[in-house]
Amino acid sequence: MANDIDLERAARIWQRRDVLRGGLAFATALWVTPGAFAGELTKTPPQTEGPFYPDKLPLDTDNDLIVINDATKPCVGEITHLTGRILSPSGEPVRNAVVEIWQCDAHGAYLHSGTGNSENRDSNFQGFGRFLTNAKGEYYFRTIKPVPYPGRTPHIHYKIKKSGKELLTTQCYIKGHPGNQRDGVLRGIRDQKALASVMVDWKKVDGSKIGEYSANFDIVLGRTPEAA
């Protein structure tokens, strides 16, 4: 099926010490042939970085956010295999782009000194991760399904960089979540196609005994890296 995750193959890319050197080992049927687009794609809208980009990066910044370094205890939350591609406006894959994500833990606390609910922060949740895209522009993270906190609907922050330049900061959301209608940041996207482009389906992984999810978020840059 299009959204099934081959967990055995996925495990091979949880190479915690080599994550920025290794390529992505799997894809889904949703990933189409690069460059096979007519005209330009809908550009992913930029969104605020927000106040909680980590003010002190963790020692562990790999793509597996549910376990820190060599710890054996995972974080609290619904495990999500988060995949996607970074694309140019014409649909060409962007290779060697650094994809950063950050999000609150299952208690609504960020990896930031000014976060709310800091007394309950899950010390087993990495909260921030990086991945270097492969030749197909693909990325992969193992994280948790985002949760709401006061004033915000569930979301995951993204920042895309290449060659030392920041290309885009945005956020992705859970498609159909009831909190979306009340989120001021999300409602700031007026264009309906752009709004749809940041809505992501969270789908149960078939056969998972622990209730894992898969989610796919493709990002279309507003400019080519060469023009940045």
pLDDT digits (tens, 9 = 90+) for 32-41: 444 444 468 9
Correct CATH for 7-221 of 2.60.40.1180, 3.30.420.140, 3.40.50.2300, 2.60.130.10: 2.60.130.10
Specify the higher pLDDT residue, 73 or 84. Answer: 84
Query: What is the predicted pLDDT for the residue at 71?
Result: 83
- Whole-number Cα distances in Å, 177 to 1, 149, 152, 182, 223: 24, 13, 11, 10, 30
Share of the chain above pLDDT 90, in %: 76
End-to-end CA distance of the chain: 37
Q: For the ranges 55-59, 110-114, 212-216, which has the lowest average pLDDT?
A: 55-59
Average pLDDT, the chain: 86
Query: What is the predicted pLDDT for the residue at 10?
Result: 46
CA torsion through residues 67, 155, 7, 64, sign: negative
Share of the chain above pLDDT 70, in %: 80
Q: For the ranges 1-15, 32-46, 158-172, 179-193, which has the lowest average pLDDT?
A: 1-15
pLDDT at 158 over 90: yes
**Is the CB of residue 134 less than 8 Å from the CB of residue 162?**
no
Q: For the ranges 31-35, 121-125, 141-145, 154-158, which has the lowest average pLDDT?
A: 31-35
pLDDT in tens, 178-196: 999 999 999 999 999 999 9
pLDDT at 137 over 60: yes
